[in-house]
Each structure stands twice: as C-alpha cells, then as structure tokens.
C-alpha cells in the first residue's frame, strides 16, 4: 500500500461527523481529508469487539497460536517498512531517517510481546486457614489466573504515529484483548496500513477495530462507553484527566502515559561534549515533540556559560526542514495550532523578561517550523517554565549544588523523565533516587527498550508501557480457592 492509496482510502471511510482535513506541516497544504466516524461507529466497533472476545476467536487461542500471528504481523511491518516511513514522514513532516529508524522498532513490539503470549501464568499458593475446632487448620490450594481485560480502547497522539500504535496494539493482542484503536486525527494514515496488515496476518475480524475521528467525538465516546473495560491512553495530561472523568460511568480502568517537563542536570564533572550534544538533541530532535524531551536544563554554575554556548551552537547548526530535503536533522511542528501554542509560550516568556540566547522565532519559510530556542533568565513562576510546551524550546538555569539542583528539578507537577550528566558514578545513582520521575537516565537521553518498563510519576501517568509491566496492564488477576 503506497502513500497515495492510504490518502485515497481514508477519504472513503464512512462517517457521520465533520470532515477533517489532513495537512502536510511542511507545505501547509491539505493532502487528504476524512469524515469523523461519529459515536455510532464506536458503538458498532464495541459490539464487534465484544462479540469477537466472547466467541474466543482470539482470546481463546493458545498463546503459541497468537504468537505465530504476531510474528507474521512483525514480518509484514518489516516488508512494508519503506511504506510506513513514507506515510509517517508525509503526515508529520518527520525527517526520513527518523521514520525509517522507528519502523523496525515497531515490528519488534510484536515479536517482543509474541514471546509473552505463551508465558501468561498466575501464581500458586499453599494456604492453611484456621479451622473451627481448636488448633485445627483447613488446607487450601489457592492460585491466580491472568485473564485479558476484554474490550479495551487504545488512544494515542500524533508525535510518533506508527510507534504509538504498535506500543499499544502489541501487548493488547498478546494478552488476548479485543480493541478499539484510535490514532490522532492529525495522523491516522499509517494506522490504516497497520490495520490492513494485522488482518492479513490472520487476526480475526472484530479483534482490532480502527476508529478514525476527533478526540472530543470518537475518543470521548470510547472513554465513556459502558462496553469498554479499559482505556490505555497516551497524550496530554489535560486530556488524560478528561478520560479519567469519562471513565467513571462504568469505573473502567485507565492506563495513562502523559506529558512531561523533564529536567536535565549537567554537573561540572560531566563529559561536557557528550552532555551538550545529548541535552541539545534531547530537546531539539523532532522539534521537541517528544514526551521525554528535556525541556528544563539545569547546569552547575562553573560550566554554565560553556554549556549554554555549546547547546546554542548545536541549535544554530541543526537544519530544520521537510523529509525530502538534504541534511535535515529535524522537522516541523505538527500543526498551525501547535505552532501558535509554541510561539505563544515564547512571546509571553520574552514579555516577562526571559532572555533569548538563540531562536525565539519561526523559520523564514513555509511550514510550521520554529527555530530551536534557548531561553535564560527564566523564572520558576513563568508559564513556559511550568507547562509542557511540546516544541523546540528549552530553559537553561544555573545551580550551585546537588540539593539546589534536585529541588528545582522536582519543582513540577510532572514526573515523566529526568537525566543526570556526571562522571561521578556515586552522584549519578544517588540523584536517580532523589529525582521524582518514572524514567531516569545517567549520561544518556531518549533511550528506550521494549523490555524495560516506562511510565510517569505524579501527573505524568498511571501504569506502565513496555516490558512485562506493559503486558500486565491488559490482564486482570483472578484469585481462585479450593479446599483440599
């Protein structure tokens, strides 16, 4: 399936709501459009998902059979790697190298979770309870069963369309769930191809149901639906809270991977060349549209000027442009709305006294490009210091010692990620324990592996993705008792 065929296919999808344009953020031109599927389509999909779950066409298969089909999905993703990269780059403006690097990772989600399909087991317990007669005991055998949640809603954002889709669909399938899959309205295209391959690989009809529409319509209908037993959501903290409120009707379970305002601590004993490059990439790559981007950099005072200068050097060197342009290191923001939002933070910061070291303006060209922006003299009361910007904008702040660095780093409602750059291994591990974040990295940034759980502290999330914990999110635990 080529880019052109998904552009055509989405136009043909039935719907009852508004027509939603899909805009190329590099040219600002519409590349296709589709009709919001509407709440009725969500009802129908829940019915199909429930029927498939109850019939056991997927949930009832032996784990090894689910695994074989998941391996086939992985192979098909690999076969269509070039198509996926082309589609996601056209839809998000992401540089080609980046979208090409992501696709093998997506295939690996299916292989990784295929391995778990045959290893979903509970635990056995030997229990003796006190009997009625004095000094008597009753022998019991107790064990737990791990059961799939049933019908789950998978809702995710635009910043990594195919990655976000696979990160959720693979563990849901491994667990045996049936799902409603809702990509962001800005970037539904690669999910169309994935949906086709999932069915081509042998996943029965009704098990995976693609929903295309707005968040406030289709997404909200999934979150509030009494037939959905769990929602796994990746997106903003604000929408995460809406989903929690919407889930109250049937007390559905909610897994949340939300926003961040992640701190990066650079000490004077760090390998500064590595720290400067790592911290710069950690915010400017993908135009800062990553949940774990390090948007607050704290630098020990003795090396502050050198680090600010170094990060500014990388920012000014980085070429921003479209996927087909030579030598590009990052792409545009996703939309005009996001551009206005990011520029709003910058302009307000300038008015409030923040100093612009570099950037602070749009690129002088077509497309939703913002020059990588470094701000100093930033006050903790400023909105840009406290709120997630999700753009190539970083505040760099000096500190004197560990205590001050940790106090500033933890002074946030978020708790997604954090980084410590130091060559002092004791300091690195000491500070890992003090940082209030679900994912902390020493001398590296933006690292991920399928096997290692990922989730946010504070208002950055509930639950985990990836690894065994990611699978557990789609399983219920039943305890069983038998008197012997």
Residue closer to ligand NAD by CB (options 32, 459) is: 459
Residue closer to ligand NAD by CB (options 428, 461) is: 461
CA 207 to chain centre: 22
Angstrom distance (rounded) from CA 409 to CA 230? 33
State the nearest-atom distance from the C-beta of 371 to ligand NAD, in Å: 21
State the nearest-atom distance from the C-beta of 233 to ligand NAD, in Å: 7
DSSP string covering 148-167, please? Answer: E-SEEEEE--SSSHHHHHHH
State the nearest-atom distance from the C-beta of 253 to ligand NAD, in Å: 15
Angstrom distance (rounded) from CA 385 to CA 373? 13
Q: Beta partners for 182?
A: 155
Q: Which of 176, 235, 392, 467 binds ligand NAD (CB under 6 A)?
A: 235
Q: Which of 100, 186, 257, 465 is catalytic?
A: 257
Q: Which of 66, 182, 225, 286 binds ligand NAD (CB under 6 A)?
A: 182
Segment near ligand NAD (CB under 6 A); pick from 87-95, 232-240, 272-280, 391-399: 232-240
Angstrom distance (rounded) from CA 214 to CA 321? 28
Nearest CA-CA partner of 202 in 84, 61, 343: 61
State the nearest-atom distance from the C-beta of 338 to ligand NAD, in Å: 7
DSSP string covering 191-211, please? Answer: HHHHHHHHHHHTPPTTSEEE-
Q: Tokens for 218, please give them.
A: 């289709």
CA within 13 Å, CB half, 56: 5
Q: Which of 64, 216, 241, 365 binds ligand NAD (CB under 6 A)?
A: 216
Binders in 138-157 for ligand NAD, by CB under 6 A: 155-157
State the nearest-atom distance from the C-beta of 339 to ligand NAD, in Å: 13
Angstrom distance (rounded) from CA 14 to CA 5? 16
Say which residues have a Cβ less than 8 Å from residue 214's Cβ, sequence separation at least 6: 17, 18, 20, 36, 185
Residue closer to ligand NAD by CB (options 184, 339) is: 184
Nearest CA-CA partner of 436 in 466, 453, 458: 458
Buried b (16+ CB within 10 A) or exposed e, 403-421: eebbebbbebebbbbbbbb
State the nearest-atom distance from the C-beta of 306 to ligand NAD, in Å: 30
Buried b (16+ CB within 10 A) or exposed e, 225-252: bebbbbbbbbbbbebbebbbebbeeeeb
Q: Which of 234, 439, 441, 445 binds ligand NAD (CB under 6 A)?
A: 234
Q: Does 291 bind ligand NAD (CB under 6 A)?
A: yes
Size of the site for ligand NAD (CB under 6 A): 30
Angstrom distance (rounded) from CA 189 to CA 92? 10
Residue closer to ligand NAD by CB (options 38, 235) is: 235
The position carrying tokens 């997604």 is 416
C-alpha distances out from residue 288 to 71, 159, 373, 392, Å? 33, 10, 10, 4
Binders in 239-258 for ligand NAD, by CB under 6 A: 239, 242-243, 257-258
Q: Does 280 bind ligand NAD (CB under 6 A)?
A: no
Residue closer to ligand NAD by CB (options 163, 267) is: 163
The residue sitting closest to ligand NAD, measured at its beta carbon, is 215
Residue closer to ligand NAD by CB (options 237, 300) is: 237
Is 186 designated active site? no
Q: Does 209 bind ligand NAD (CB under 6 A)?
A: no
Q: Which of 38, 171, 215, 294 binds ligand NAD (CB under 6 A)?
A: 215
Long-range CB contacts (< 8 A, 24+ apart) of 356-361? Answer: 357/308, 357/312, 357/396, 358/312, 358/315, 358/316, 359/315, 359/392, 359/393
Q: Does 41 bind ligand NAD (CB under 6 A)?
A: no
State the nearest-atom distance from the C-beta of 334 to ligand NAD, in Å: 8
Q: Is 359 in contact with 373 (CB distance < 8 Å)?
A: yes
Q: Does 47 bind ligand NAD (CB under 6 A)?
A: no
Q: Does 236 bind ligand NAD (CB under 6 A)?
A: yes
Residue closer to ligand NAD by CB (options 234, 412) is: 234
Q: Does 261 bind ligand NAD (CB under 6 A)?
A: no
Q: Binding marks (x or -) toward ligand NAD, 403..422, rule CB under 6 A?
A: -------------x------
State the nearest-atom distance from the C-beta of 264 to ligand NAD, in Å: 16
Residue closer to ligand NAD by CB (options 247, 300) is: 247
Q: Which of 15, 206, 259, 294 binds ligand NAD (CB under 6 A)?
A: 259
Q: Is 90 in contact with 46 (CB distance < 8 Å)?
A: no
Binders in 362-391 for ligand NAD, by CB under 6 A: 388, 390
Q: Does 159 bind ligand NAD (CB under 6 A)?
A: yes
What residues are annotated to the active site?
A: 257
- Chain residues binding ligand NAD by CB under 6 A are 155-159, 182, 184-185, 214-216, 219-220, 223, 234-236, 239, 242-243, 257-260, 291, 388, 390, 416, 456, 461
């Amino acid at each position: 399936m080529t880019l052109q065929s998904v552009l055509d296919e989405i136009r043909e999808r039935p719907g009852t709501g508004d027509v939603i344009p899909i805009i190329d953020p590099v040219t600002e031109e519409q590349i296709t459009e589709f009709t919001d599927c509407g709440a009725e389509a969500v009802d129908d999909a829940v019915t199909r998902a429930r029927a498939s779950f109850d019939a056991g066409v997927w949930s009832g298969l032996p784990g090894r059979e689910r695994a074989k089909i998941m391996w086939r999905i992985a192979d098909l993703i690999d076969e269509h790697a070039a198509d996926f990269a082309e589609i996601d780059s056209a839809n998000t403006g992401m540089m080609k190298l980046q979208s090409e690097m992501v696709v093998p990772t997506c295939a690996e989600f299916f292989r990784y979770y295929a391995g778990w399909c045959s290893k979903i087991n509970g635990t056995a317990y030997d229990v003796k309870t006190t009997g009625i007669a004095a000094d008597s005991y009753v022998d019991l055998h107790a064990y737990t069963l791990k059961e799939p949640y049933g019908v789950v809603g998978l809702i995710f954002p635009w910043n990594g369309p195919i990655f976000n889709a696979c990160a959720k669909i693979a563990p849901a399938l491994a667990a045996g769930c049936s799902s409603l899959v809702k990509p962001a309205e800005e970037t539904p295209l690669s999910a169309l191809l994935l949906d086709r391959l999932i069915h081509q690989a042998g996943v029965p009809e009704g098990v995976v149901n693609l929903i295309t529409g707005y968040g406030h319509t289709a997404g909200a209908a999934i979150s509030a639906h009494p037939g959905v037993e769990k929602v796994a959501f990746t997106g903003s903290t604000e929408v995460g809270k809406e989903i929690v409120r919407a889930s109250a009707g049937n007390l559905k379970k909610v897994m949340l991977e939300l926003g961040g305002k992640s701190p990066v601590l650079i000490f004077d004993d760090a390998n500064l060349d590595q720290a400067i490059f790592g911290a710069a990439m950690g915010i400017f790559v993908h135009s800062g549209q990553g949940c774990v981007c390090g948007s607050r950099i704290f630098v020990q005072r003795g090396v502050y000027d050198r680090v600010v200068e170094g990060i500014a050097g990388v920012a000014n060197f980085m070429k921003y442009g479209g996927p087909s342009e030579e030598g590009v290191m990052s792409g545009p923001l996703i939309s005009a709305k996001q551009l206005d939002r990011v520029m709003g933070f910058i302009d307000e910061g300038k008015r409030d006294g923040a100093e612009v070291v570099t950037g602070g303006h749009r690129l002088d060209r077509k497309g939703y490009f913002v020059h990588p922006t470094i701000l100093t003299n930033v006050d903790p009361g400023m909105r840009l210091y406290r709120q997630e910007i999700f753009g190539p904008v970083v505040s760099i702040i000096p500190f004197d010692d560990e205590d001050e660095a940790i106090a500033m780093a933890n002074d946030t409602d978020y708790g997604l990620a954090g980084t410590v750059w130091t060559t002092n291994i004791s300091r690195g591990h000491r500070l890992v324990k003090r940082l209030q974040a679900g994912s902390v990295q020493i001398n590296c940034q933006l690292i991920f592996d399928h096997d290692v759980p990922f989730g946010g502290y504070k208002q950055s999330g509930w639950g985990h993705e990836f690894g065994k914990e990611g699978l557990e999110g789609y399983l219920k635990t039943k305890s069983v008792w038998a008197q012997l």
